[in-house]
Structure 1
């Protein structure tokens, strides 16, 4: 089974590039099948990692950034793959 773990944070206004650099520099203790990093308006950063694992497996995730870098707690979601187009 393939599980996607999504991590999304919103930077303090004007610090989107700092948050993006922080997220890209974070190493996980294990290598995912794939990792992509995205940015969006309002200084948001999204990281998605794909894992060959069961849905409930204990998988590494990015940590919370320093409080002075983000406007709120990180949002996290987990999805399992059901089909490929």
Structure 2
């Protein structure tokens, strides 16, 4: 069974690049090499949003919170269980 953990943050106005860099430089290295981590991807989206999706064979590790000054609102987190893959 695979669990996908999604972490999404909206940057404070004008700080999307800094938030993206924080994810790449802090959050990704904090997860890299963790037991059960199968894959991770970083996405950006309109509205100054940054999304980190991780896939796990074990229980997902939590993604740390970025510095508050980078955020336009609190971080959102969801976990999903894979039911079907083609």
TM-score strictly above 0.5: yes
2: CA distance, partners of 1:20 / 1:65: 10
Whether the 8 Å CA contact 1:13–1:42 is kept in 2: the answer is no
Whether the 8 Å CA contact 1:5–1:78 is kept in 2: the answer is yes
| Cα drift, residue 63 of structure 1 | 1.1
State the partner residue of 1:44.
49
1: CA distance, partners of 2:66 / 2:75: 8
Task: Flag structure 1 segments of 5+ consecutive residues without an equivalent.
Answer: none
1: CA distance, partners of 2:82 / 2:38: 13
State the partner residue of 2:73.
72
Runs of 4+ in 1 over 3 A off after TM superposition: none
| Cα drift, residue 48 of structure 1 | 0.3
1: CA distance, partners of 2:24 / 2:63: 10
Name the Cα RMSD after superposition: 1.3
Which stretch has the larger CA shift, 1-10 or 23-32? Answer: 23-32
| Cα drift, residue 43 of structure 1 | 0.7
1:60 aligns with 2:64: no
State the partner residue of 1:9.
9
SS in 1 for 2:68: coil
Aligned length: 81
Q: Structure 1-normalised TM-score?
A: 0.88
